[in-house]
Structure 1
Amino acid sequence: MLKKLLAGVAVAGVMAAGAASAATEIVVQYPYGELFNETHKQIAAEFAKKNPDIKVTFRTAYDSYEEGTQKILREAVTNQLPDVTFQGLNRVRILVDRDIAVPMDDFIKAEKDFEKEGFHQAMFDIGTQNGKVYALPFAISLPITYWNLDLVKQAGGDPANLPTTWDGVIALAKKIDALGPDINGITYVWDITGNWLWQAPVFAQGGTMLNADETKVAFDGPEGQFAMKTLARFVTEANMPNLSQPDARATFAAGKTGVHITSTSDLAKTTSMIGGKFELKTHVFPDVKPGSGRLPAGGNVAMIVSTDKAKQKAAWEFIKFATGPLGAAIMAKTTGYMPPNKVANDVYLKDFYVQNPNNYTAVKQLPILTKWYAFPGENGLKITDVIKDHMNSIVTRSRANEPEKVLEDMTRDVQKLLPKKAS
């Protein structure tokens, strides 16, 4: 009996070892480790509890959305792709055009009660290209304003009635800037990846980047003129310093800036950096035109890029969990992003938003959300660099007094890079 028992234990041990070794491993890579390392660590731990047969291995985080896309394009050539990649919302198009992204439609159709898990059509629309779903949104951000209420009060502003127009923002920023030589009135993180904060004021005025058939620049109209002149006013009227995104964040968190305009994604990190030094209040993005005004959704989506069928199935399980109620709630609590998942917002985060009203500012702007635009063609990434270079000429003051001419030159340079449509 003892021999039989020992033999049985041995067989069970072999079977257990075999099962463990049979676990499917998927490789996952995501951007911005400073924002998402803790998020993905917690999500992976919870995922492992429910999916012991799937092992998740992370690669070192991408430095930025652009770097992440460029890396995927290179790895597709050398057959070194991860199985799951998290990419900027405006980078779905290029990975679909290059036949790298795997469509998710069959996985979605096979799910039962998907709506009860908080998934809805708007989530699918964000990652849809050419009629197929290639990505699910993981973390959604919108542009908002961050205010140092201590400086607002010192400058004679009303914390209960913060401005909702750029005229009002600039006027208060000028008063704050006058408080002392080491105080900045305003910082605007214009260099956020993918020209996001160029698109925001244009879309907020009801404008677009290109015309309907994407053959001609459309941001050179009144909406783009308003956006470029406003950027110039930050410099010429409110004395905005030329700071990088990390430096602008650090300066604001140190209590040296009155109003800081950037993404909701920075909220958790910025709040932590402030550490109670002053009272922080988030507020809406200014001058959104009623009816036609929209704001571009920032953030990132999860995409399957594995060519292995078994790994694709495992990758889908991970993406489904990460964008589902629990994964989305973890993401929201560890960052400043919003989850697009309805159950996460309505159930898991209901009390969280009551206790953290600064996080709810962006949620209030969800009705005016629109896609983060991706420029078409082989020069899509280059166009974003061209726009950045022209905006840089304003912020560095070399051309701050001629925003109309800067916009004219930017229009010309972007138009040259657009794909030529067959006649």
Structure 2
Amino acid sequence: MKGFRKSFISAALASMVALTAACGSGGGGSVGENKPQATKAANDNGNKQIEITFANWISVEDATKAAYEKMVADFEAANPDIKVKSLGIPFNQFKDQVLISSSGGNPPDVMMANQNFSAAFVGADIAAPLDGMLDADLLNDIVDGSKQGVTYDGKIMAYPWAPHPNALFWNKSLFKSAGLDPETPPATWDELITMAKKIAELKKNESGNPVYGLGINTASHSYSGNMLFRDVLTYGGQFIDDQNKVVFDQGDALKNALANIQELVQAGVAPKGVEIKDLRGMFIAGTLGFHIDSDVGRQIFRDTSGKGEAFDAEWGVTVVPPGATGRSETVFSEHQLLIAKGSKKQEAAAKFIEFLVSKEAMTTYHNMNGVMSARKSIAALPEMNDDDYATIFNKQMETASPFPAKNPVFDNAMKTASDMIILVTEGGQTPESAIGQVMPKIKELYAE
């Protein structure tokens, strides 16, 4: 773990400029077993406002900026003694910048993360345990799958904020053009592939743009590796076993998943060399029959299409159809919240997190962006299941698997795993050959 931290930070420092003193929380500090005491400023003057810094990416994304601003405004109105200073960092730069800033003694007080980022922050020893810092009832209210993913060596190191299970979107117009019933999505994985091929037979839409049946992430990126892992689940495989040993290449699941990707790309059913933003654009443009995405999809589709809620009539969403295991296999990414180990304002930071995961904040976030809650009590509320869209994603969450991302090298492993996709879609290699070349590198990352 220490070796990873040193090598990762050194590489990041060589290629990036660290965050400036805008983080402003100071360095040093340690985390005790009990809830931290109030800051000296708050003790000296009850009217003096405490400023906490919040590193996040949702404040700089158009789809979520308004919801973020409202949640922060509501928190500050209810807590006039605390001011939240946003450190908005683009997603692709987020992990590296937070690691560099924190290792340099200038951590943000609260850090947003996903599973991959949290593992890196915990591995770099910049996150504080939340046990004893947040209310015990709040910790006990986390849904089981999410709680498992944030527990490291028996300690809860991050609080799950908004889970994002991946479900299946389909384009109703392309269904009609391909002679399919636009109101009847596929019931099995094999049926999905058959329908995707039928849609791809259209070749082009009315504007002359190429039409594809199924969106697959085929670019060199860790997200492509994440989605390959999702495919492997459908074919009955796993990434690690109960002893945290890499078993990605055991059995036929990985080989079958790569063979399917290779076949679909070569046949023109799936596009080549694309990532999630490309697939979203194609789906919005009406040139992609099926697209697997999280619950943020609807708001992105509405905003980017320029059609708002009217665009909802052009697509449908359902759970990912079952494959080899007989159940709907998918993954969920998750926005998580951490408190910096070096923060001197941990009590105020904890209060901010408790608000962000509260009923008030989560209903705001849900109403504006359709997100769900990782708290059992809130996920079951009628207002969190207010339409068919929310119902589908809550149902999908029942069978969604967390990414096995506790090891901080997981993100690097997924980036490496995407090389197998490149080899079979662009390098002309067989799945067996791609696996043989890449899996030793993944196992080396895990010191196997």
Question: What TM-score, normalized to structure 2?
Answer: 0.79
Residues 318 and 387 of structure 1, relative CA distance in 2, 3 Å threshold: same
Distance, in Å, in 1 between the alignment partners of 2:121 and 2:414 is 17
- Deviations along 1:174-231, one digit per CA (max 9) or x if unpaired, are 2222224222222123557553212212223442212333344434422222222222
**Compared with structure 1, are the counterparts of its residues 121 and 51 closer, same or farther at alpha carbon in structure 2 (3 Å cutoff)?**
farther
Aligned partner of 1:212 in structure 2 is 242
**Structure 2 residue 404 is the aligned partner of structure 1 residue 373:** yes
| Correspondences of 1:1-150 after superposition (within 5 Å) | 20=47, 22-31=48-57, 33-34=60-61, 35-64=63-92, 67-108=93-134, 110=135, 114=138, 119=142, 123-150=146-173
Q: Is the 8 A contact 1:217 1:414 kept in 2?
A: no
User: Is 1:166–1:287's contact at 8 Å kept on the other side of the alignment?
Assistant: yes
- Whether the aligned pair in 1 keeps the contact of 2:116 and 2:410 (CA below 8 Å) is no
Percent of pairs with identical residues: 23
Distance 2:368 2:420 in 1: 35
For the residues of structure 1 that align with 2:375 and 2:239, how far apart are their CA atoms?
A: 28
- Distance in 1 (CA, whole Å) between partners of 2:154 and 2:367 is 33
Partner SS state of residue 52, structure 1: coil
SS in 2 for 1:297: strand
Q: Which shows bigger deviation, 253-262 or 312-321?
A: 253-262
Equivalent pairs, count: 392
Deviation at 1:128, TM superposition (A): 1.0
Residues 259-291 of structure 1 show CA distances to partners (whole Å, capped at 9, x for unaligned) of 122222322111333423552101211335557
The one-character-per-residue Cα deviations of 1:353-372 (angstroms, maximum 9, x if unpaired) are 443x2333221112213221
1:336 Cα deviation after fit: 4.3
Distance 2:257 2:415 in 1: 18
Structure 1 runs, 4 residues or longer, greater than 6 Å off: none
Of 305, 321, 325, which aligns to 1:286? 321
Q: Distance in 2 between matches of 1:121 and 1:154?
A: 42
1:43 aligned counterpart, secondary structure = helix
- Aligned CA distance change for structure 1 residues 251 and 291 (closer, same or farther; 3 Å): closer
> Where does residue 332 of structure 2 map in the other structure?
297
Q: What residue identity is the alignment partner of 1:131?
A: G
Q: What TM-score do the two structures reach when normalised by structure 1? A: 0.83
Change (3 A) 1:199 1:45: same
Task: Name 2:32's counterpart in structure 1.
Answer: none
In structure 2, how many angstroms separate the alpha carbons of the residues matched to 1:292 and 1:87? 29
Unaligned runs of 5+ in 1: 1-17
Q: Does 1:268 align with 2:294?
A: no
Cα deviation, residue 404, structure 1: 3.0
Contact 2:95 2:117 in 1 (8 A): yes
Q: Which has the larger radius of gyration?
A: 1
Q: Give the 3 Å change call, closer, same or farther, for CA 216–89 of structure 1 in structure 2.
A: closer
Q: Which moved more, 1:189-198 or 1:178-187?
A: 189-198
Alpha-carbon separation, structure 2, partners of 1:391 and 1:247: 17
| Matches of 2:378 and 2:266, distance apart in 1 | 43
Displacement of 1:135 after TM fit? 0.7
What is the aligned-residue RMSD (CA, Å)?
Answer: 2.8
Residues in 2 aligned to 1:101 and 1:368: alpha-carbon distance in whole angstroms: 29
1:246 equivalent in alignment to 2:277 = yes
Deviates more, 1:235-244 or 1:82-91: 235-244
Distance in structure 2 (CA, Å) of the matches to 1:216 and 1:89:
18
Q: For 1:330-349, what aligned pairs fall within 5 Å after superposition?
A: 330-347=364-381, 349=383
Aligned-partner residue type, residue 307 of structure 1: G
- Is 1:390 aligned to residue 420 of structure 2? yes
**2:381 partner SS:** helix
Report the residue type matching 1:141 in the other structure. H
Cα distance in structure 2, aligned partners of 1:60 and 1:282: 31
